[in-house]
């Protein structure tokens, strides 16, 4: 097995060695001997940064997949209530971009009941082949039949990469099938690229966005990645239809599930934050709940949506569905105005890709400034009323 070996005879200064390990897994025991504890994450930092020769890697045998046997990028089509989730197009756009580099096909797979008429639309977004599993048993999302469908297609088509949207369905389905295939899955990727040898470069945040990790799945196929909505731009819809539609068969037995669906109810429709072109977001700089009227007026004047940071959600001032950030929504509107938001990294993770970011904040050292395209240093209570008034003067709609 791969492990780290300690060459005790090369140790000069044993006291210094525990400091090398970011996970506290190097310890000097009571006999003064250096040990590696089970908390070792095999980050190999001790090998790279430690005194030469003290820590060495013992390579185990590596089983390597034949990469050439797995070709193509497969996108799982997320849909609900007869509508394709726009996230699917974002994934198809990214898949197309990567496929052009490596000359691979782009596949899409959809599962559901009465969904085949949705399939042609995927061709407008660059899917070369669209595999459709259209069966009454797939009417409701239940894990076993959905996993069976995705697994079935992967075994038949052998795609090199599988991209799944980070929706509630995707986050349930992708790990299930990745485990069945004993392959790697990287969750919530924020950047993807492809090497010439079809290895997928995956970048994702960890530790609440405080660090970024670059991850590859080199030994197994396919490589699974999930991506949340609005991470990648929506590609332009090609007016020409395209893509071959393949209606797939699967044995009835694989569509069985012991899970019984008793009822399905729709959640109250709020215009989803992800769809808004203009968002006005507010944070702790707003002192009282009644002051939110100011924020709403600004959003109304711009025809935009209102969003908030986590502290305001926790105060109960907003529905959690309008929270921007790592534990909320990821947005990339054309315009985002932040009011009284300092820019904690968790918030920034959910909005940094907005096309134009304007921040209004009193603190000239707040982290939000470096994220903004335009940073206004000042009191939102003094700036926003003037803005609303000036917009009203200009705009016929609101006058």
Partner 1 sequence: MEIIVCIKQVPSNSNVQVDPKTGVLIRSGIETKINPYDLFAIEAALRIKEKTGAKIKTISMGPPQATEAIKEAFSMGIEEGYLLTDRGFAGADVLATSYALSQGIRKIGLPALILCGKQTTDGDTAQVGPEIAEFLHIPHVTHVLGISGITEKAITLDHDLQDHIQTITVPFPCLLTVEKDIFQPRLPSYLLKQETARREIAQINLADLDDKNEQHYGLNGSPTQVVKIFPPLNDRSYEIWEENPEELSRKLVQLLSSKKFIQVRS
How far CA 138 is from CA of 99, 142, 152, in Å, comes to 30, 8, 14
Instruction: Answer whether 220's CB lies under 8 Å from 65's CB.
Output: yes
Q: Does 167 bind partner 1 (CB under 8 A)?
A: yes
Q: Of 92-100, 216-224, 239-247, 311-319, which part binds partner 1 (CB under 8 A)? A: 216-224
Q: Does 377 bind partner 1 (CB under 8 A)?
A: yes
Residues in the chain: 399
Q: Does 24 bind partner 1 (CB under 8 A)?
A: yes
Q: Does 326 bind partner 1 (CB under 8 A)?
A: yes
Q: Does 178 bind partner 1 (CB under 8 A)?
A: yes
- In the range 82-111, which residues lie near partner 1 by CB under 8 A? none
- In the range 135-154, which residues lie near partner 1 by CB under 8 A? 140-144, 147
Least distance (Å) from partner 1 to the CB of residue 245? 26
* Beta carbon nearer to partner 1, 25 or 74: 25
Q: Does 262 bind partner 1 (CB under 8 A)?
A: yes
Instruction: Answer whether 348's CB lies under 8 Å from 371's CB.
Output: yes
* Beta carbon nearer to partner 1, 100 or 287: 287
Among 88, 160, 186, 323, binds partner 1 (CB under 8 A): 186
Say how far apart CA 107 and CA 127 lie, in whole Å. 5
How far CA 79 is from CA of 15, 40, 113, 312, 349, in Å, comes to 57, 41, 11, 31, 25
Q: Of 128-136, 245-253, 260-268, 311-319, which part binds partner 1 (CB under 8 A)? A: 260-268
* Beta carbon nearer to partner 1, 212 or 247: 212
Say how far apart CA 56 and CA 40 lie, in whole Å. 14
Least distance (Å) from partner 1 to the CB of residue 54? 16
Q: Does 300 bind partner 1 (CB under 8 A)?
A: no
Say how far apart CA 87 and CA 310 lie, in whole Å. 24
Among 30, 68, 249, 265, binds partner 1 (CB under 8 A): 265
Q: Which residues contact 199 (CB under 8 A, 6 or more apart)?
A: 67, 216, 217, 218, 223
Phi, psi at 152, each rounded to 5°: -60, -50
Instruction: Answer whether 321's CB lies under 8 Å from 269's CB.
Output: no
Among 67, 158, 171, 254, binds partner 1 (CB under 8 A): 171
Q: Does 185 bind partner 1 (CB under 8 A)?
A: yes
Classify 53 as helix, strand or coil.
coil
Q: Does 234 bind partner 1 (CB under 8 A)?
A: no
């Amino acid at each position: 097995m791969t492990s780290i070996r300690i060459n005790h005879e090369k140790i000069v200064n044993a006291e210094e060695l525990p400091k090398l390990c970011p996970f506290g897994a190097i310890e000097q025991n009571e006999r003064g001997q250096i040990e590696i504890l089970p908390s070792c994450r095999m980050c190999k930092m001790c090998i790279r940064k430690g005194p030469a020769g003290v820590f060495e890697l013992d390579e185990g045998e590596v089983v390597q997949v034949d990469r050439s046997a797995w070709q193509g990028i497969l996108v799982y089509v997320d849909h609900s209530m007869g509508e394709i989730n726009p996230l699917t197009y974002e994934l198809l756009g990214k898949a197309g971009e990567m496929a052009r580099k490596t000359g691979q096909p782009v596949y899409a797979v959809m599962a559901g009941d009465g969904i085949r008429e949705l399939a042609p639309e995927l061709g407008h977004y660059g899917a070369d082949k669209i595999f459709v599993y259209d069966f009454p048993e797939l009417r409701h999302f239940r894990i076993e039949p959905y996993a069976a469908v995705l697994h079935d297609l992967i075994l038949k088509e052998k795609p090199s990469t599988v991209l799944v949207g980070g929706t509630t369905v995707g986050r349930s389905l992708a790990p299930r099938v990745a485990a069945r295939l004993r392959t790697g899955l990287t969750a919530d990727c924020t950047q993807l690229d492809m090497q010439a040898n079809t290895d997928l470069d995956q970048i994702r945040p960890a530790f609440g966005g405080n660090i970024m990790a670059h991850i590859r799945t080199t030994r197994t196929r396919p490589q699974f990645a999930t991506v949340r909505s609005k991470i990648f731009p929506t590609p332009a819809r090609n007016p020409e239809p395209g893509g071959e539609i393949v209606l797939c068969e699967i044995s009835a037995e694989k569509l069985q599930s012991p899970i019984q669906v008793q009822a399905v109810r729709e959640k109250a429709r709020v215009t989803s934050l992800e769809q808004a072109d203009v968002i006005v977001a507010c944070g702790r700089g707003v002192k009282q709940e009644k002051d939110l009227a100011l924020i709403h007026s600004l959003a109304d004047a711009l025809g935009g949506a209102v969003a908030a940071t986590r502290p305001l959600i926790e105060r109960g001032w907003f529905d959690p569905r309008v929270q921007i950030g790592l534990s909320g929504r990821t947005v990339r509107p054309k315009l985002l105005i932040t009011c009284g938001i300092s820019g904690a990294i968790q918030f920034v993770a959910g909005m940094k890709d907005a096309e134009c970011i304007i921040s209004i904040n009193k603190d000239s050292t707040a982290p939000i400034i470096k994220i903004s395209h335009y940073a206004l240093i000042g009191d939102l209570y003094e700036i926003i009323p003037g803005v609303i008034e000036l917009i009203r003067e200009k705009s016929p709609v609101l006058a």
